[in-house]
């Protein structure tokens, strides 16, 4: 089946089997391996990407169902923030030591950006609740939470809020 | 600080950029030309004879390249998986070590045991083919829990292992303990279960194997914490591939926690199959597959008793543990509940006599091996729970009884009755600091406040010591290790003065690319941006034992420090020649070689260049080049320790437990990078909290099916389960490592289960509850509370 998407700002068109998951299209067909697979029950959030600006678990959605949508992965995130080398949330994860092995990180960052879109000034409690769909086994979440709050602050600043 | 990127500097990690931009290089991301996909057919039964494997339908599917079984392995002369650590029983006989074939050989012994391996052009095809493989099973009754497996009528996993008993092991002075108990004023007892855990690093295991016939070289990319050890075990014992013809690469690895420090069957099967079919093969473990094939952790059933005098002084400790080995011995399985457990039973106390016996038992479950902490969390949980019980029974304050029995700072080095000698430590100092930071004194007021909101509140402390920095080879080999446990490092200084380090440890989240660079920066005065740390590839790195047991910085860091010292010495020799001074008059400080008392000097970069462009160089006495290597074998374990305090609230109606505060004061020795140490603590504590509050691998007792086989049933800690943790260090430098480091990878997981459980028991103490097993799930706590509230309970 033919599917046409915009992925990280570029138009892509592929003939894929209709049971192809978005994550497989991204990783296997497009070589965008920054989106990870950490489970097979839609529980871990390692696979989170943005579809039309909203976070979704790419392991749980068929690629053909998204025909015509715009997909952003971790590889394309920085460009959405005005083409800086890094998106403020990426910088915040670095500066707050919000990652260790890095496996959950792309999904965490993508979820965090969406969390801040919905709630530009989240409290610690709100961040913890908002990351409920993302597992990290390394960091104990403490520095991830700090990173999300810091990333949100910089995002607000950039938007002049 | 003199060096802004040296030891102790809170610098940000060098490795982050590739991870935050999605450019990490994990095994599952790899693609090789002509790559095929592999899928394992696994046993759905806990215990069964395999009467036959019919692959006709699978092989008839177009695109299916092979269906391989244990019989094929045997026909090719492939060996079983070796055990890296043997133990000896009370009777002086070696443990029972039945064969562990990489694919089942006539019998399966746990749900998940691999029976066949299917290779096809695509993953989808391989999956379909795997489903059409027909395995004829003759199902046998299963021995699932340790208590079941040791019953006289239990089904036997191996015909020649009576009673399913791998080893009946002990340590300590039984007679001295018996004598102390005979004269004791009081004896406190505990029966406990240390719940079985599944490590679940977020990256599932994966491997890619490739054979190049033109060079007769084989490469295995694998999610491993120790690629050199995999090369040695797999190459030498399983597949008989010469070491120089085998390359093992562990690129970016998404967390390990012990789960990835074993040589797994899948690695050997993939490598063997890739050589056989002449095409690269990739296998990526599904999470549900990981639940039934990654080695599990913990799983003890223990009875223990402490003898005390009337003042609360510990006289002796007696421990008897049943430890689950699972269906086969994993790489280090038998070592974990024995050598990494019993020696830690002294804890931070002066208990003069200790005796511990451990029965290592085979069961029809996934093999059990090291998981973060490995043996030491089990020991700490037991000791610290028992100490609280002692206090309760004697009517003593929990802090007072600890203080009464703690090893005083002045008593270090301290020889325990259980083999190990602690070189340094200050448990009282750690505890006092933790009490202050956690405001232990103010707890009563907080408890009242919680009570007003209808909630029980409790506070708990756990003090601990761990033996890490695995390990002094001589001691380890005496304890049954079948290899050395040193570490190696090469410091390669380029003609420009830039540095590449090749080290045998492996970083899978620990931040070695930063901390090891800081060590070199401190030593050589080169900023960290000019230092790269290379690891994880047996073709690049000389040798190494990898990363586990909080050993990287302690053992690897010492090797690195020694290699850097050799660079400095050679640099001084070159400088002495160039500056026409005696070697003793040339000093190296802040990156500059100078002659004492003069202004004659050479920069590190100048000396580096002249080592490769040896115009002004003592060629008659010295080889050109500037590259040095060191192997370091530790003289003792290192002994981090500390005190952790947890505070919880328990809902009176639902039994749900909320962790409301957590304080850790740890003695990890010299801190290279405080940011990274805090991160290790956060993660370790959270894993321990997971064990205490929610994680538990549950098997159905009859069928041996893993009931907690996905993230829907196996509860992993999430962000909203944790409070903000307060982390502090109270360090006494290690007396025998080069840099005074002790290790910090596991301390969090060791201190936290007991701290949290002690807090919950404290919260429920007004109901007369003296002990609860982990995890403190709402269901368990609710039942315990209901039971305690029944009229008879008050009697
Ligand atoms: S891979 Fe785990 S939620 Fe998508
Ligand atoms: S950083 Fe390793 S899982 Fe989150």
Give the ligand 1 atom nearest the CA of A36.
Answer: 1
**Contact assignment for B202 to A34 by CB distance below 8 Å:** no
| Segment holding B777, helix H or strand E | none
Give the ligand 1 atom nearest the CA of B287.
Answer: 2
Architecture of domain A84-159: Orthogonal Bundle (1.10)
| Segment holding B645, helix H or strand E | strand B641-651
Round to whole Å and give the CA distance between B401 and B306: 13
Strand order in the sheet with B455-465: B455-465, B641-651, B657-667, B725-729
Q: What's the burial of B409, exposed, middle or buried (CB within 10 Å: 0-12/13-18/19+)?
A: middle
Round to whole Å and give the CA distance between B382 and B369: 19
Domain of B583: which CATH number? 3.30.365.10
**Contact assignment for A97 to B21 by CB distance below 8 Å:** no
Q: How does DSSP classify residue A62?
A: B
pLDDT over 90 at A160, yes or no: no
Tell me if B71 sits within 8 A of B90, measured CB to CB: no
- Going by DSSP bridges, is the β-strand pair B246-249/B217-222 parallel, antiparallel, or unpaired? parallel
Size of interface A-B (CB pairs under 8 A): 177
Give the ligand 1 atom nearest the CA of A59.
Answer: 4
**Contact assignment for A102 to B19 by CB distance below 8 Å:** yes
| Segment holding A49, helix H or strand E | strand A48-51
Our CA-based measurement puts residue A16 at a distance from the nearest CA of chain B, in whole angstroms, of: 13
Residue of B nearest to A28 (CA): B29
Round to whole Å and give the CA distance between A23 and A74: 12
Task: State whether CATH 3.40.630.30 applies to domain A2-77.
Answer: no
pLDDT value, residue B630: 97
Give residue-wise pLDDT tens across range B663-697.
Answer: 999 999 999 999 999 999 999 999 999 999 999 99
Give the ligand 1 atom nearest the CA of A39.
Answer: 2
Give the ligand 2 atom nearest the CA of B255.
Answer: 2
Residue of A nearest to B252 (CA): A101
Round to whole Å and give the CA distance between B762 and B169: 34
Residue of B nearest to A129 (CA): B720
- Integer CA distances (angstroms), B5 to B79, B587, B731, B738, in order: 48, 21, 21, 19
Tell me if B459 sits within 8 A of B645, measured CB to CB: yes
Residue A138 alpha carbon to ligand 2 centre in Å: 4
pLDDT value, residue A161: 55
Residue B785 alpha carbon to ligand 2 centre in Å: 36
Residue B658 alpha carbon to ligand 1 centre in Å: 27
HSE on the CB side for B453, CA within 13 Å? 11
**Contact assignment for B719 to A99 by CB distance below 8 Å:** no
**Contact assignment for A97 to B508 by CB distance below 8 Å:** no
Residue A77 alpha carbon to ligand 1 centre in Å: 19
Q: Is A45 in the pocket of ligand 1 (CB under 6 A)?
A: yes
pLDDT value, residue B195: 98
Q: How does DSSP classify residue B11?
A: P
pLDDT value, residue B792: 63
Q: Is A46 in the pocket of ligand 1 (CB under 6 A)?
A: yes
| Segment holding B271, helix H or strand E | helix B265-277
Q: How does DSSP classify residue A100?
A: S
Query: What residue has token string 């006599």?
Result: B353
Residue of A nearest to B284 (CA): A37
- If one counts the domains in chain B, the total is 1
| Segment holding B405, helix H or strand E | helix B398-405
pLDDT value, residue B795: 45
The radius of gyration computed from the CA coordinates of chain A, to the nearest angstrom, equals 15
Tell me if B270 sits within 8 A of B38, measured CB to CB: yes
Give residue-wise pLDDT tens across range B336-347.
Answer: 999 999 999 999
pLDDT value, residue B470: 83
What are the phi and psi torsion angles at B638 (to 5°)? -105, 155
Q: Which of residues 40-99 of A touch B (CB under 8 A)?
A: 40-41, 43-44, 46, 73-75, 78, 86, 90, 93-95, 97, 99
Q: Which residues of chain B have pLDDT under 70?
A: 1, 792-795
Examine residue B695 and state whether it is found in any structural domain, yes or no. Answer: no
Query: What residue has token string 């100490």?
Result: B387
**Contact assignment for B18 to A102 by CB distance below 8 Å:** yes
Report DSSP letters for B112-175, one per residue.
T-EEEEEEESSHHHHHHHHHH-EEEEEE-----SHHHHTSTTPPPSSTTSGGGEEEEEEEE-HH
Residue B682 with chain A: CB contacts under 8 Å: 139-143
Interface confidence (ipTM) of the complex: 0.98
Residue of B nearest to A103 (CA): B254
Round to whole Å and give the CA distance between A148 and A143: 9
Closest CA to B732 of B293, B424, B498: B424
- Cis, bond preceding A96 (omega within 30 deg of 0): no
Please give the residue that has the higher pLDDT: either B32 or A85: B32
- Cis, bond preceding B427 (omega within 30 deg of 0): no
CA B345 to chain centre: 18
- Integer CA distances (angstroms), B794 to B767, B773, B789, in order: 8, 21, 8
Q: Which domain holds residue B592?
A: 16-22+486-632
Closest CA to A113 of A160, A144, A155, A52: A155
Q: How does DSSP classify residue B252?
A: B
What is the location of CATH 1.10.150.120 in chain A? 84-159
CA B291 to chain centre: 18
Round to whole Å and give the CA distance between B47 and B43: 9
Strand order in the sheet with B586-589: B586-589, B592-595, B601-603
Report DSSP letters for B476-500, one per residue.
HHHTTBSS---EEEEEEE-TTS-EE
pLDDT value, residue B789: 86
Q: Is B255 in the pocket of ligand 2 (CB under 6 A)?
A: yes
Our CA-based measurement puts residue A44 at a distance from the nearest CA of chain B, in whole angstroms, of: 8
The neighbouring-strand residues paired with B421 are B415
What is the location of CATH 3.10.20.30 in chain A? 2-77
pLDDT value, residue B603: 98
């Amino acid at each position: 089946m033919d599917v046409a998407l915009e992925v990280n700002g570029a138009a892509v068109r592929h003939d894929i089997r209709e049971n192809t998951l978005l994550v497989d299209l991204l990783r296997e067909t497009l070589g965008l391996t920054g989106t990870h697979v950490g489970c097979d029950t839609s529980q871990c959030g390692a696979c989170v990407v943005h579809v039309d600006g909203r976070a979704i678990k790419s392991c749980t959605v068929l690629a053909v169902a998204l025909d015509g949508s715009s997909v952003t992965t971790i590889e394309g995130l920085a460009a959405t923030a005005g083409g800086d080398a890094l998106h403020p949330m990426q910088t915040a994860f670095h500066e707050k030591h919000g990652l260790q092995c890095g496996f959950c990180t792309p999904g965490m960052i993508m979820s965090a950006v969406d969390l801040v879109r919905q709630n530009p000034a989240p409290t610690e409690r709100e961040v913890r609740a908002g990351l409920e769909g993302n597992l990290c086994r390394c960091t104990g979440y403490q520095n991830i939470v700090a990173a999300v709050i810091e990333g949100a602050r910089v995002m607000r600043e950039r938007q002049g809020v | 600080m003199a060096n802004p990127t040296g030891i102790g500097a809170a610098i940000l990690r060098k490795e982050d950029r590739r991870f935050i931009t999605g450019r990490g290089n994990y095994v599952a991301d790899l693609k090789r030309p002509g790559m095929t996909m592999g899928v394992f057919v696994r046993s759905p039964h806990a215990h069964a004879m395999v009467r036959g494997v019919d692959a006709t339908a699978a092989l008839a599917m177009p695109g299916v390249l092979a269906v391989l079984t244990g019989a094929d392995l045997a026909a090719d002369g492939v060996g079983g998986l070796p055990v890296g650590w043997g133990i000896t029983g009370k009777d002086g006989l070696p443990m029972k070590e039945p064969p562990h074939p990489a694919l089942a050989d006539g019998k399966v012994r746990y749900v998940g045991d691999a029976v066949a391996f299917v290779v096809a052009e695509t993953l989808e095809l391989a999956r379909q083919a795997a489903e059409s493989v027909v395995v004829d099973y003759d199902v046998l009754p299963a021995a699932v829990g340790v208590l079941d497996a040791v019953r006289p009528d239990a089904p036997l996993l191996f015909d020649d292992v009576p009673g399913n008993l791998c080893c009946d092991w002990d340590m300590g002075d039984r007679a001295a303990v018996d004598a102390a108990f005979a004269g004791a004023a009081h004896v406190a007892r505990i029966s406990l279960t240390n719940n079985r855990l599944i490590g679940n690093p977020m990256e599932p295991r994966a491997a890619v194997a490739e054979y190049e016939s033109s060079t007769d070289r084989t490469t295995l990319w694998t999610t491993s914490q120790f690629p050199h050890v995999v090369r040695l075990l797999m190459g030498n014992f399983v597949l008989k591939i010469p070491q120089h013809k085998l390359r093992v690469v562990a690129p970016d690895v998404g967390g390990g926690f012990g789960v990835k420090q074993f040589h797994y069957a899948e690695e050997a099967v993939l490598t063997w199959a890739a050589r056989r079919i002449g095409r690269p093969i990739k296998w990526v473990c599904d999470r549900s597959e990981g639940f039934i094939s990654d080695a599990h952790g913990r799983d003890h059933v223990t009875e223990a008793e402490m003898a005390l005098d009337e003042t609360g002084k510990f006289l002796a400790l007696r421990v008897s543990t049943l430890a689950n080995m699972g269906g086969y011995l994993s790489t280090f399985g038998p070592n974990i509940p024995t050598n990494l457990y019993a020696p830690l039973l002294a804890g931070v106390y002066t208990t003069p006599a200790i005796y511990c016996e451990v029965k290592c038992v085979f069961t029809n479950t996934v093999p059990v091996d090291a998981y973060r902490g490995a043996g030491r969390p089990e020991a700490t949980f037991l000791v610290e729970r028992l100490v609280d019980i002692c206090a309760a029974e004697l009517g003593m304050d929990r802090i007072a009884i600890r203080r009464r029995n703690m090893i005083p700072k002045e008593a270090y080095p301290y020889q325990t009755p259980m083999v190990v000698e602690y070189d340094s430590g200050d448990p009282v100092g750690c505890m006092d600091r933790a009490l202050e930071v956690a405001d232990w004194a103010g707890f009563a007021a907080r408890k009242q406040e919680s009570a007003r909101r209808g909630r029980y509140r409790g506070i708990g402390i756990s003090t601990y010591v761990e033996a890490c920095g695995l390990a002094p080879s001589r001691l380890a080999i005496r304890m049954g290790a079948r290899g050395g446990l040193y570490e190696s490092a090469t410091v390669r200084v380029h003609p420009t003065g830039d540095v590449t380090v090749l080290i045998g440890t492996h970083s899978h989240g620990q931040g070695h690319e930063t901390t090891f660079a800081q060590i070199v920066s401190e030593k050589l005065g080169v900023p960290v941006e000019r230092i790269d740390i290379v690891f994880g590839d047996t073709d690049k790195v000389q040798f190494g034992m990898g990363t586990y047991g909080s050993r990287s910085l302690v053992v690897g860091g010492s090797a690195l420090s020694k290699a850097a010292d050799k660079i400095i010495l050679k640099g001084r020799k070159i400088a002495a020649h160039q500056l026409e001074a005696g070697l003793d008059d040339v000093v190296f400080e802040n990156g500059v070689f100078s002659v004492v008392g003069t202004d004659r000097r050479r920069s590190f970069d100048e000396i580096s260049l002249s080592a490769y462009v040896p115009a002004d160089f003592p060629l008659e006495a010295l080889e050109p080049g500037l590259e040095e290597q060191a192997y370091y074998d530790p003289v003792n374990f290192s002994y981090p320790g500390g005190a952790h305090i947890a505070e919880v609230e328990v809902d009176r109606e639902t039994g749900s437990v909320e962790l409301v505060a957590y304080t850790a004061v740890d003695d990890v020795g010299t801190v290279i990078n405080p940011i990274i140490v805090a991160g290790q603590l956060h993660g370790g504590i959270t894993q321990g909290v997971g064990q205490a509050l929610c994680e538990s691998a549950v098997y159905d007792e009859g069928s041996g099916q893993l009931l907690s086989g996905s993230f829907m049933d196996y509860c992993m800690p999430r962000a909203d389960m944790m409070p903000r943790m307060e982390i502090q260090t109270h360090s006494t430098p290690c007396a025998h490592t080069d840099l005074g480091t002790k290790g910090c990878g596991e301390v969090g997981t060791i201190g936290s289960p007991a701290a949290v459980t002690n807090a919950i028991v404290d919260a429920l103490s007004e109901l007369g509850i003296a002990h609860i097993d982990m995890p403190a799930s709402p269901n368990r706590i609710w039942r315990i509370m209901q039971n305690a509230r029944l009229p008879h309970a008050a009697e």
